[in-house]
Homo-oligomer: A and B are copies of this chain.
């Protein structure tokens, strides 16, 4: 189950959460969460790594990956399988979905909730423990659709 709805959870809460599990609250972990939250947008591990290094030089990429994965497990972040390119991580709590352009790879947000109750139930009946549901729309973003039209026109 995702975690209790708490719109914003500060770093101290992360510390507590980790301690409960017998894990350590390292500066890297705190800063990574902070950086992920600072952006009101999804980010790649690499982007987060660069940002974190400004506050905490030397922070390594393996650490960033491990921590992001840990945050997902703790319910503090979502993974977004954009399909093309790198995995995205997102700390936004408000329900929202993603649109991925298959031409330029851009990923945009779309606010709104999707009714997944029936789906979750069906999965549960199969013994699957649902932790999250990702809805990704693929297609062409406005820019690429426009460009596509042009190209088709030229070809004639």
Instruction: Give the interface segment out of A23-31, A39-47, A49-57, A81-89.
Output: A81-89
- Distance of A44 from chain B, by nearest CB (Å): 14
Interface residues of A in 67-121 (CB under 8 A from B): 72-73, 79, 81-83, 87, 97, 99, 101-102, 108, 110, 112, 114-116, 118-120
B112 touches A114 (CB 8 A): no
Return the chain B residue nearest A124 by Cβ. B139
Expressed in whole angstroms, the Cα–Cα distance for A133 and B97 within the complex equals 11
Number of residues of chain A lying within 8 A (CB) of chain B: 40
Return the chain B residue nearest A87 by Cβ. B83
Expressed in whole angstroms, the Cα–Cα distance for A5 and B13 within the complex equals 51
A135 within 8 A of B: yes
Interface mask (A121-136 → B, CB under 8 Å = 1, otherwise 0): 0110011111111111
A127 touches B142 (CB 8 A): yes
A18 within 8 A of B: no
**27 interchain pairs, CB-CB under 8 A:** A81-B81, A83-B134, A97-B119, A99-B128, A99-B130, A101-B128, A110-B123, A112-B122, A114-B115, A114-B116, A115-B115, A127-B142, A128-B137, A128-B141, A128-B145, A129-B140, A129-B145, A130-B137, A130-B139, A131-B138, A131-B140, A132-B138, A133-B135, A134-B134, A134-B135, A134-B136, A136-B136
